[in-house]
Structure formats: structure tokens, C-alpha cells
Amino acid sequence: DNVEDEWFIVYLVREITREFPGMAARIDDNDGEFLLIEAADFLPKWLNPENSDNRVFFYKGELHLIPLSEPHEQECDLSAATPTISEALTLLSTRCEEFLAAEPIRTAVYKRISGYPEKIQASFHRAHCYLPAGIVAVLRQRPSLVAAAVQAFYLRDPADLRACRSFQTFPPDERVMTVVTFTKCLYAQLVQQKFVPDRRSGYMLPLPSHPQYKAYELGMKLAHGFEILCSKCSKVSPDSKRNVLRGPLWERFLSSLKEKNYFKGQMEGSAKYMELLHMAEDYFQQSVTKPESSVEVSPGDEILTLLRTTTIDLKEFEREAASLPPEDDDSWLEITPDDLDQMLKEARNESLPSANEEEQKYDLEAVAESMKAFVSKVSTHEGAEMPWSSDESHVTFDVDSFTKALDRILGADSEELDSDDLDEEEEFDFLDEDDEDLDAENQREDQKESPNELIGSLKSYMNEMDRELAHTNVGKSFTAQKKGVSISVNATTSQSAGPDSGAEDTELTPVDVDMNLVANLLESYSAQSGLAGPTSNILQSMGVRLPDNADHTDTK
């Protein structure tokens, strides 16, 4: 549940490979190669989820990426066979310098693990809890068991709560105040859940106005977690116990107990001696030795073993409770809208490290050029390619192919009608035969026209549309170029229209495409009101960051 735990493990793995130069390590999770996901913006084109297995390793403290076997294969987007572990290790041990991941990839990954090990302390939270003395004694020996207890309570089900009606292991009779160290994630999981204990359990809470209500509530929840763990503990068979207690490891463990006066001078074979010996055997069986063939010892088994082997001094716990250190402030659980905005702003600035420089040298031409580059890219079923690098091929326009395609559309030799024509033919069956003959004659005349004549006719048609729109307000919605740049309507067409057409033969000022594009983008960005939207998403994916509209004025 705490993603920072994963990155802490990544830090540990990296440090292990740095400490032991002959070791290589790879790490993944349910999402796959999440190190590559973190550096997704900087990966080479040939790398995809299908061929990424056994290619990402930490070796000598650095991130390595094993490429495809042949250089020309990297230019294609097809899946390639992944190397085996032995092949990958052989390549790393002989040519590791060649496989060092690119600097942007390593920077993206190392950024997530920067700050360790100092950052570990910042993830802790210390809180007062009113707990049974047995749990206090167990946590003194194994502080990490608090994680298993919180998880057991957090993921509880009705069957688990049946064990919490009687509390056979941790009854509420002998409870003391103590300080428990959580991670912030564990503390949040425990404190944010609303839970009312069963009346039969004996765990009664004071009024919410009580100054120590939170300590009572946290202790009650944590006690439920420990009780659930113990109710699920397994039983160790006598045969497996006898097998484990035969060997040099047990002998060394027993000798160590005797040196530390574990048996407290009791005579060997006495009842007290045998009681202590059995507790030591149980502890050794469940906590010290974990044969590869056996199942890992469950937290419940470990708790029960610690309860049998640990002395519980209630008076000592009560004396310590009188002078407990203050608990940590948990105001970090509450995030105001301003705090959230600040966090999002910091995350955005981290993703764009040069945002301040870009804002100082801001150029609207970069916005227009980025959008043009984006539109010129190829889009497939996997999405549109973002114009990150300039060495990628742009979409080209073949005039001859376009002319042939236009010829097929407007001047096709086939006399077959499309679906729209068929519908119109059925709709207008009432036309007389003379009109049909006239249409057929006109169609034959159109088919005799050459492709160049068709294109010229299309241009004339577009000019006529321009004249018609010139007398409307449509053009006023667009920003035109400066007066010095203008185009005139086709003079030949104008002259052939007759002497009265001079009034319509006006100069048409071309639209400033870049200015209209930027104005519409800024208007769309302003309408987002600081939230995510299409304009900011597209531009940020291309590395262009628009400045904040601080004065809330019209961006146009």
C-alpha cells in the first residue's frame, strides 16, 4: 500500500550491488519493470513490455540496460526474444560498460531513491497507545511485528473478528500506556478506520472528549490485529521439531543461552530448567531456523513464541508510562486545497526542471511550432507520437499521389454510384426522363475533364466560397495577417464574371494561422482554471509549459 516501500527496496538493492561488485540484481512488481515505467519518457524506441524481461539490472551500483542482440533490430518495433538470466549475467560481467543505461534513464530512477537513508526517519510516526502488557513486551523484542498487526486489522473479515470476542491471548485486563513506532502509512491505515469493538471483548473506549481517547482507540485497534494474528497461528508437528533440534546450530544456540545465564542457575533436569528449555526449543524452532523445505514462520507463531520466552514486568512498564516522550504531530494527515495545489506545483516543476528558465525566455512561437510538429506526427492504435526528437521522419506530402487520388474521387471512369447517390435516386423517382438525360449528359462531360482541369475547377469553387464569406462576419472571428500581406481573388475568374463584379473583387487578407492557434490555445488553457485539460496535457507532453494566468485576465 505504501509505494515508498518499493523505492526503499530499490535503494537497498542498489546499495547491495555496490557493496558486492560481483552481484547483479533485477527488481519488478505486479506492474512489471516499474523502473522502466518511471523512466518511460526517456526509453529507446525498440524497448517495449514484450521484450524488456531480463534486460534491466543493477550492477556495481549502477542501472544497466541490455540492448537487442543486433543493432539493426533496435530500429524496428517488433518483439525480440528476451535473454536468459545466464546470458544476461555473462554480458554484464564481460561488457558492463557498454550496457550502462542512458543518463536520463538513470537520473529518473535515481531521483526516486535520492535522500535515503536519511529519508527513512522522516517516514516514521510515533504515537501513544494503550496496549496489553503482552503486546508491549512483544514489540520491545520485535518492533516490526506492528506492520503485520496493522495489516491484519486493516484487512479483517467477519471470521477474523470472531476470535476477538473473547481475546484469549491479549485480554484487556492488564494494559499500559506506551509509545509505538509506525510508518506513516501504517499509522494512517490504523487511525482512519472507524471501528467499534464487540462488547464481549472488554475493550471499552472512553468518551471522545477524553484527553487520551486517541491512545485508547489506537491500542484497541492494534490489540485486535495482534489477536487476529495469533488466532491464525499454525501448530508445529513433534517430528519436525525433533529434526530441527538435532544439529550443530542448535548446540551453538544452547551454549549461547547457557553463557548468558538463561537458565538462571537451575539444575539441569529440574522442572524449572525443563520449562525454560522447552521455551528455548520453541523459539529456536519457529524464529531461528527456517529450512528451505518448511513454510515461513507466521507472525502469529512468532508472537506466541515471544510471549513464552519473554518476561513481562508490568510494574516496569507502568513506571515507564509515567514519563513517556511526547507523540508526533499527525497534522500531516490533513491536506488543505492550498497544500494540494503546492504539492501538484512541486511535482510539475520536478517533471520540468527548467520551467523557471522557460518562463523567463517564454516565446509564443514555440507553442505554435510544437503544435505543428505534433500534428505532423503519425498516430496509430497505440496513440500519437510526441515530437521529442528532431531526427524522426515527418509526414510527407506526395503531390502526384494526391492528384491520382483526387482523379479517382472526382473523375473516376466507373459509372457506379455511391450509397448517397443511390439514396438520392430512390428519393427522387418522380423526376421526368428529360431531367435524367440532362444529368447523364452533364456527367459524361465532367468525366471528359482532365485532372488539372478538375483541380482548377476546385480552386475556382474555393474562390467563390471566399467571395461569399467575405460579406459575412465569419472572417471577423479569426485574426488576419498584417495589411502588407494579402491575396486577391482569381483575376481570371473575376474578369470572366463581367463588369459588375468589380465590387466583389476585393482583396482578401489571409488568416494568421499561428496567431489564431496560439490565441485559441491560451483561451482553452485559461478556461481550465488551473486544472488538467487538453491544452496543458498536450503541450506539457511535448516539453512546453505555459505560464500561470496569475492576473486572470483575458489571455487573448
**pLDDT tens-digit series, residues 116-164:** 888 888 899 999 999 998 999 999 989 999 999 999 999 988 888 888 8
Higher pLDDT, 350 or 316: 316
Higher pLDDT, 149 or 483: 149
Grid cell at residue 326: 511526547
pLDDT tens digits for range 282-324 = 888 766 555 444 446 788 888 888 888 888 888 888 888 888 8
The pLDDT assigned to 360 comes to 46
141-170 burial by CB neighbour count: b if 16+ within 10 A, else e? ebeebbbbbbbbbeebeeebbebbeebebb
**What is the arithmetic mean of pLDDT over 81-108?**
88
Kindly tell me the sign of the dihedral angle through the C-alpha atoms of 156, 159, 164, 170: negative
Angle between helix axes 299-309 and 213-231 (nearest 10 degrees) is 100
511 pLDDT higher than 60: yes
The pLDDT assigned to 157 comes to 87
| pLDDT bracket for residue 241 (50, 70, 90) | low
**Window from 198-207, 478-487, 535-544 with minimum mean pLDDT:** 478-487
The pLDDT assigned to 494 comes to 43
Grid cell at residue 480: 488576419
**What is the arithmetic mean of pLDDT over 391-402?**
56
| pLDDT bracket for residue 504 (50, 70, 90) | very low
Higher pLDDT, 245 or 262: 262
| CA distances, 16 to each of 12, 85, 93, 150 (Å) | 6, 19, 17, 29
362 pLDDT higher than 80: no
- Nearest residue to 524 (alpha-carbon basis) of 502, 554, 550: 554
**Window from 41-50, 238-247, 265-274, 528-537 with minimum mean pLDDT:** 238-247
Number of neighbouring beta carbons within 10 Å of residue 548: 10
Give the Cα separation of 494 and 501 in Å (integer).
7
| pLDDT bracket for residue 505 (50, 70, 90) | very low
DSSP alpha helix (H) spans, 123-247:
133-141, 145-154, 158-162, 184-191, 213-231, 238-244
Higher pLDDT, 488 or 313: 313
Higher pLDDT, 394 or 3: 3
**Window from 35-49, 88-102, 298-312, 540-554 with minimum mean pLDDT:** 540-554
Strand locations in 23-71, DSSP E?
24-25, 56-59, 62-65
